[in-house]
Amino acid sequence: MIEKSAPCKIQFFSEQTNQLYSLMPTRRAPTMLISGIPMHRIKDTEPHTDTLEKIKTIAPITGYVLDTATGLGYTAIQAAQTAEHVTTIELDPAALEVARLNPWSQSLFENLKITQVIGDSSEEIKKFGANTFARIIHDPPMFNLAGDLYSGEFYRHLFRVLQPRGRLFHYIGDLESKSGRVVTKGVMRRLQETGFKRVSPRPAAFGVIAFK
Ligand SMILES: C[S@@+](CC[C@H](N)C(=O)[O-])C[C@H]1O[C@@H](n2cnc3c(N)ncnc32)[C@H](O)[C@@H]1O
Q: Report CA(96)–ligand 1 centroid distance (Å).
A: 10
Which ligand 1 atom is nearest residue 71's CA? 27
pLDDT of residue 6: 73
pLDDT at 11 over 70: yes
Average pLDDT, the chain: 96
What whole-number distance in Å separates Cα of residue 163 and Cα of residue 167? Answer: 8
Which ligand 1 atom is nearest residue 67's CA? 6
Q: Report CA(1)–ligand 1 centroid distance (Å).
A: 43
pLDDT of residue 94: 96
Would the CB of 124 count as within 6 Å of ligand 1?
A: no
Each residue of 138-197: pLDDT tens digit? 999 999 889 999 999 999 999 999 999 999 999 999 999 999 999 999 999 999 999 999
E strand map for the chain: 11-14, 19-24, 31-34, 37-38, 64-67, 85-90, 114-118, 133-138, 162-171, 197-202, 207-211
CA angle, residues 131, 116, 138, in degrees to nearest 5: 55
Each residue of 58-88: pLDDT tens digit? 999 999 999 999 999 999 999 999 999 999 9
pLDDT band of residue 1 (cuts 50, 70, 90) is low
Give the mean pLDDT of 40-56: 96
pLDDT at 204 over 80: yes
Q: Report CA(6)–ligand 1 centroid distance (Å).
A: 30
Tell me whether the omega of the peptide bond preceding residue 103 falls within 30 degrees of 0, making it cis. Answer: no
pLDDT of residue 7: 76
pLDDT band of residue 2 (cuts 50, 70, 90) is low
Q: Which residues make Cβ contacts (< 8 Å) with residue 23, sequence separation at least 6?
A: 9, 10, 11, 30, 31, 32, 33, 98, 101, 102
Q: Where are the alpha helices (DSSP H) in the chain?
A: 47-56, 74-79, 93-100, 107-110, 121-124, 152-161, 178-194
Would the CB of 105 count as within 6 Å of ligand 1?
A: no
pLDDT at 108 over 60: yes
